[in-house]
Structure 1
Amino acid sequence: MARSAARPTPTPATTRRRTLVALATLGVLVLVVAAGVLYRLTSASAPTPGLAPEGDWDVAAQHALAAAPMPVLPGAAAQPQPLATAGAGEPIVLPAASGSPVEGWIPAEFPATPQGALAQVVALWEAALVGADPAVLERAYRALSLPGAPDPAAAVPHRAVVALRAGAGLPATGTVSDLHVDFAITHGLVKGSTDEGRYAVVCVLGELSVSYHAHAARGGLGDCQALRFSGSGWRISPTPLPAVAPHAWPGSQFAVIAGYREVVRDA
């Protein structure tokens, strides 16, 4: 009986090359992520007739706002590139959190304004993406979600970290030595609001930076979320995820075309 050939053990040089290739694809990782959520674009773009009000929420108006399509940008838009000479408008001032951090580490309880909703999404993703651990991201997302909110696995940042770990051959969850991830959100936009400002769809745009074993890569990543103001703060709404956000390099002309504006943190 013929003996099957043994699989060669990867050498350190081979492992480094594979890691470099995986991280070098980060600039186009958003294309993979976007491709994975194209079904959302298709389903979200179609109107959903006959939605009955939910308590005092205008669910039909919420669905219509969330489903409205976003600008479509080419894949190259997410790659590092020169900044635009002019922005899409005045900077958006993000208000400060007024309450105790959720789970002890996620800033929360922002004002009942669209800017407050945007500030909550900024706080969520900047806290949740440290370490690029899908399990941590899921915990943070659920902690800020109302019952019936979308599964965190459907969110673009979650898909991004799952794809990143798989591409680099890393464990699906858990701490990885020498893996450093930062999502610096510098721009955002308010897609709109309904229900007298108690429901808002907001989008963030930031630079996702990853380094691993002395290799580094960067790419622009956008995300939109729908939130309801409940009690004293904003929470992820129990309605479908909004149409997917355009991915662009923050501050680039593509970002301007998409309507992203610089965000300024209120001290």
Structure 2
Amino acid sequence: MAEGYIEYQFKVEPLQPAVDILIAELGDAGFESFVETEAGVSAYIQKKEWHDGILDDTQILKSDEFEISYTSEAIEQTNWNVEWEKNFNAIVVDDMCSVRAPFHEKPNTKYDIIIEPKMSFGTGHHETTHMMIQHILKADLQDKSVLDMGCGTGVLAILAEMRGAKPIDAIDYDNWCYLNSLENVERNNCEHITVLEGDAQLLCGKNYDVIIANINRNILLQDLAVYAKALNSEGSLFLSGFYNEDIASIEAECERLGLKRSATLERNKWVALKFKN
């Protein structure tokens, strides 16, 4: 079990583009969950991943263009639901897919996903999750085998099943995300999703028609060869978790692996790309 998280509350002036840059750099440093606030952003990192110099390579903190201050404190798993209910509003993507908590009213959408993400990443609020939902809504997933890599809350795997995909693997290395995905899969009455705890090593010998990976640039570049090997002929690979300035390095590695970009979504400088085998 995870032993809790460290919460950093950043106050940022001016907010943009500083908040987006800060989230990207904190993601590279190991922070895995973010809640944007009126004053800036709250960021969360597992206690076991934290160390004294965790912010040393966060370059925006040294910039003269922005004023950024922060405080930090330990936050236990049992406290997260309180924070969650204070910060989470239901969202609707393209008038087709809603992502909400059980205490929200049911909207009139074709796909209604109910999650309680606790500390897990993937509420649909962040640009990357929002765009991945858009990609899934456009994709033909009927009877396609799907991998949701770095599944977080399991929201993308759940939507994939609602869109007709089966079977589906949802994988995350974080125990908290693994347990949260199990809860959300059950909550949404999914029958074709297998939730696994681990990393890309679990893909050995597996093959999929569609692979979804919303992680971060460094992990994607590290594991793209594994994804390419696991992707069936004529398969689709959806990638997000990085900025538009990272497209060149991501695309170069994909092209080296025989994958061609076929679609691009951009939202507040974040991007979500589709590649074809």
Q: Which has the higher contact order (CA 8 A, sep 6+)?
A: 1
TM-score normalised by structure 2 residue count: 0.22
Structure showing greater radius of gyration is: 1
TM-score normalised by structure 1 residue count: 0.23
**By percentage of residues, which structure has more strand?**
2
